[in-house]
Amino acid sequence: MARAAGVSTAVVSYVLNDGPRPVAAETRRRVLDAVEATGYRPDGIARALASGATHTLGLVLPDIANPFFAALAHALEDEASRHGLVFFLGDSAEQRARQHELIESFVGRRVDGLVIVGVDEELDLSPARRAGLPVVVLDRILGEPDVGAVGIDNRAAAALATEHLLHHGRRRIGLVTGPEDLPTAAARADGWREALTAAGLAPAEDLTRHSRFDRHGGYRAGRSLLGVKTPPDAVFVASEQQAFGLLRAAHEAGVSIPDDVAVVAVDGTEAAEYSVPSLTTVTQRFDELAARAIELIQHPAAESRTAVCNFDLVPRRSCGCPEPRDPEREPTS
Amino acid sequence: MARAAGVSTAVVSYVLNDGPRPVAAETRRRVLDAVEATGYRPDGIARALASGATHTLGLVLPDIANPFFAALAHALEDEASRHGLVFFLGDSAEQRARQHELIESFVGRRVDGLVIVGVDEELDLSPARRAGLPVVVLDRILGEPDVGAVGIDNRAAAALATEHLLHHGRRRIGLVTGPEDLPTAAARADGWREALTAAGLAPAEDLTRHSRFDRHGGYRAGRSLLGVKTPPDAVFVASEQQAFGLLRAAHEAGVSIPDDVAVVAVDGTEAAEYSVPSLTTVTQRFDELAARAIELIQHPAAESRTAVCNFDLVPRRSCGCPEPRDPEREPTS
DNA sequence: CTGAAAGCGCTTACAG
DNA sequence: CTGAAAGCGCTTACAG
């Protein structure tokens, strides 16, 4: 390539990278023409080795097939692409050992940073720390020092969801949340308690269920919760996937949602608009989560290592609100 | 590191890679000890530059937030990890331009191969071809020469689904499939026609709808199809996501599934078990698709460049079969 | 069995 | 403004 343009490789580099040295317009032309003519593409690996930056990030998720994480991945990929970054996809399959392998693998591949949703509170970041890599933990905020954290105020989100159930006149409000050892699950449970207490009600601890943050977990919890002698008249469900499982359990048990039991969940992927009944959710802003995550990776020295993102209550049918007539969905016949 | 062990870098390399030269047991010990002591991890980038292999693949999907593609990504990541490979995540957002950028980006990063689900039939693989990279096209099989292709027999899968509807005594069977220019959508439509014709029925072309392969597409198609003067008594839906949209449209229109209209779809993610009613699907075997894809990447010179995978009819409620009593789901109380 | 050295394809001070 | 050269951290023939 350099010879094709009759210049040194240094100049080719200067032209293609716009620096760090200036290049005469005439020379630049010649290089660009030669690039065009030869179809030359710089080798990203050599570039990475020489420059020290791979422009690559590692993404570690408990399960990419979980629609919530898939939505997160979608938003992250989109945001990363705006910055010329690309993600390695890591699916830890909810396993600590696999998660650790992924982190080591990504560090070994010299990523510029790591974005992680940990499988539980035991997150060993030592390989990243040794390499001096910026790390951002998503969704499940952990107490690690000098690690970026991006998420919503889980307690507030859960309280908002529970208050909405209260506004619908429900008083016997149950709880389905995630595993006890997950801070996110605990925080959402706390929000439920807080809203009830603020309303002068005693949280019915016999109406609480812990299960995995997936459909099957919600299904099991739903069967159990709806089968008690005096069932709840509403349930706050800590994740959308669990809520879908609970919807199914209710259907099988002949329990009508929302007539018998009103439901509000947290998360908010597109699927919530299409379930039967449609699911009222406190929706996380995936774009915002992604933007903050990339920001913290690129500016690890930022004043604050923590970004608390916004959320929105999106009323649909499962809480007792009318089925939304989405103008985009409704044919304007 | 080499100095820590008192050997040359060559020997360190031989030990860590088990070759290509033998190393004395005693020397090996010393190297391994030094690795342990210093916490040395080889630089993957330097290794890649020197060896020519990055052990990295590129994955290009139309939308990772679509549960079908997410399930595919999950299976691919799992299979890749067994081979010491890791995927770059590329989300083309259903856009040709973005798709092309991703392919160029991955080729520039010197991936060892590319796995792609194209957004449409216009798939420009020239950057990969120039680099001599093996490419596997998934799901939407295209007519490219010397490109690997992995998928199911779409016509047969659609015919199987339609036959099941016929077995339930349905005769007025509609069709919802994907965009006309997608071969996958066309093949599944052909299977529907074939099954009807084989049963001595004339495919009702006024009962066919084309829409995007997502929930909203299925919703629109469902509204339109269920709103005709003489609605169908069954619908074959070419994708699970569209089927969820149609389920919702039916619910809004007061049409009972399966009593008024029976539904069978193709794809089969876990979500089909939990919808209300549960969705009968012709399920693709994601593990098999993933295994064949990685195989074709690693052995591009294989006798056959095409792998046709198996599928299974999984009867659930939407076709009129009884709601499955899943032993894993059913508490054995 | 092991070491010295070239080479992978770039980037980046250093001279000029 | 441009070229010659070192260097990024490995792998791999080549000698010995």
Residue A203 forms contact with B (CB below 8 Å): no
Specify whether A32 is located in the same domain as A106: no
Give strand letter and number of the nucleotide nearest B52 (CA to C1').
Answer: C8
Residue-wise pLDDT tens for chain A (333 aa)? 777 778 888 888 989 988 778 888 888 888 898 899 988 999 999 999 999 999 999 999 999 999 999 999 999 999 999 999 999 999 999 999 999 999 999 999 999 999 999 998 889 999 999 999 999 999 866 566 779 999 999 999 999 999 999 999 999 999 999 999 899 999 999 999 999 999 999 999 999 999 999 999 999 999 999 999 999 999 999 999 999 999 999 999 999 999 999 999 999 999 999 999 999 999 999 999 999 999 999 998 777 788 999 999 999 999 999 988 764 555 443
Count CB-CB contacts under 10 A for residue A308.
Answer: 15
Specify whether B132 is located in the same domain as B206: no
Whether residue B133 lies inside any domain: the answer is yes
Give strand letter and number of the nucleotide nearest B50 (CA to C1').
Answer: C8
Looking at residue A217, the DSSP 8-state letter turns out to be H
Specify whether A277 is located in the same domain as A208: yes
Residue B150, SS3 per DSSP: strand
Residues of chain A with Cβ-Cβ distance to B54 below 8 Å are 45
Specify whether B20 is located in the same domain as B82: no
Residue-wise pLDDT tens for chain B (333 aa)? 777 778 888 888 999 988 778 888 888 888 898 899 988 999 999 999 999 999 999 999 999 999 999 999 999 999 999 999 999 999 999 999 999 999 999 999 999 999 999 998 889 999 999 999 999 999 866 666 779 999 999 999 999 999 999 999 999 999 999 999 899 999 999 999 999 999 999 999 999 999 999 999 999 999 999 999 999 999 999 999 999 999 999 999 999 999 999 999 999 999 999 999 999 999 999 999 999 999 999 998 777 788 999 999 999 999 999 988 764 555 443
Residue B40 forms contact with A (CB below 8 Å): no
- The span from the CA of B116 to the CA of B151, in Å, is 12
Specify whether A275 is located in the same domain as A244: yes
Q: Name, in order, each residue with C-beta under 8 angstroms of A209's C-beta and a sequence gap of 6 or more.
A: A174, A175, A176, A177, A221, A224, A225
Residues of chain A with Cβ-Cβ distance to B52 below 8 Å are none
Residue B223 forms contact with A (CB below 8 Å): yes
User: CB–CB of B152/B159 below 8 Å?
Assistant: no
Specify whether B175 is located in the same domain as B270: yes
Cα atoms in the 13 Å half-sphere on the side-chain side of B297: 29
Instruction: State the nearest residue by CA to the C1' of C7.
Output: B50
Report CA-CA distances (Å) from A48 to A20, A244, A289, B114: 16, 45, 28, 20
Specify whether B303 is located in the same domain as B262: no
Whether residue A318 lies inside any domain: the answer is no
Q: How far is the CA of B8 from the C1' of D6 (A)?
A: 21
Whether residue A316 lies inside any domain: the answer is no
Whether residue A10 lies inside any domain: the answer is yes
Which nucleotides of strand D lie under 7 Å from a protein CB? 1-5, 7-14
**Contact criterion met (CB < 8 Å) for A109 and B89:** no
**Contact criterion met (CB < 8 Å) for A64 and B74:** yes
Give the neighbor-by-neighbor strand order of the sheet with B234-237.
B208-210, B173-177, B234-237, B262-267, B280-284, B311-314
Give strand letter and number of the nucleotide nearest B25 (CA to C1').
Answer: C1
Q: Which CATH number belongs to the domain containing residue A207 in this structure?
A: 3.40.50.2300
Residue A223 forms contact with B (CB below 8 Å): yes
Specify whether B132 is located in the same domain as B192: no
Start-end of H helices in B170-239: 183-198, 215-226
Phi/psi for B232 (5° steps) reads -70, 160
Specify whether A12 is located in the same domain as A161: no
Nearest CA-CA partner of A273 in B319, B251, B269: B251
Specify whether B209 is located in the same domain as B180: yes
Closest residue, chain A, to B330 (C-alpha): A220
Interface contacts (A, B; CB < 8 Å): 167
**Contact criterion met (CB < 8 Å) for A73 and B89:** yes
Looking at residue B207, the DSSP 8-state letter turns out to be G
- The span from the CA of A55 to the CA of A41, in Å, is 16
Residue that finishes a domain, picked among A248, A268, A285: A285
Convert the pLDDT of each residue in A46-90 to its tens digit: 999 999 999 999 999 999 999 999 999 999 999 999 999 999 999
What pTM was computed for the model?
Answer: 0.95
Whether residue A110 lies inside any domain: the answer is yes
Whether residue B265 lies inside any domain: the answer is yes
Is the distance between the Cβ of A131 and the closest atom of strand D smaller than 7 Å? no
Count CB-CB contacts under 10 A for residue A247.
Answer: 28
Whether residue B49 lies inside any domain: the answer is no
What burial letters (b/e) apply to B263-289, b meaning 16+ CB within 10 Å? bbbbbbbebbbbbbbbbbbbbbbbebb
Domain containing A34: what range? 2-42
Specify whether B278 is located in the same domain as B167: yes
Start-end of H helices in B59-203: 67-82, 96-108, 126-130, 154-167, 183-198
- The span from the CA of B265 to the CA of A290, in Å, is 33
Phi/psi for A236 (5° steps) reads -95, 125
Nearest CA-CA partner of A82 in B101, B282, B184: B101
Pairing of strands A135-138, A113-116: parallel
Is the distance between the Cβ of B14 and the closest atom of strand D smaller than 7 Å? yes
Q: Give chain A residues 2-31 with Cβ within 7 A of strand D.
A: 6-11, 14, 21-24, 26-28
Whether residue B317 lies inside any domain: the answer is no
Report CA-CA distances (Å) from A22 to A8, A10, A32: 14, 11, 15
- Label each residue of A143-161 as H, E or C: CCCCCEEEEECHHHHHHHH
Specify whether B179 is located in the same domain as B132: no
Which residue out of A56, A109, A115 would a mutagenesis test of the B interface target, given it has the greatest number of B Cβ atoms within 10 Å?
A109
- The span from the CA of B256 to the CA of B94, in Å, is 33
- Please tell me whether the peptide bond between A258 and the residue prior to it is cis, using omega within 30 degrees of 0: yes
Which residue out of B61, B69, B129, B276 would a mutagenesis test of the A interface target, given it has the greatest number of A Cβ atoms within 10 Å?
B276
- Looking at the 3D structure of chain B, how many domains does it have? 3
User: CB–CB of A16/A42 below 8 Å?
Assistant: yes
Instruction: Please report the pLDDT score of residue A143 as a whole number.
Output: 63
Strands (DSSP E) along chain B, which ranges?
A: 56-61, 86-91, 113-116, 135-138, 148-152, 173-177, 208-210, 234-237, 262-267, 280-284, 306-309, 311-314
User: CB–CB of A241/A177 below 8 Å?
Assistant: no
The minimum CA-CA distance between B264 and chain A, rounded to whole Å, is: 17
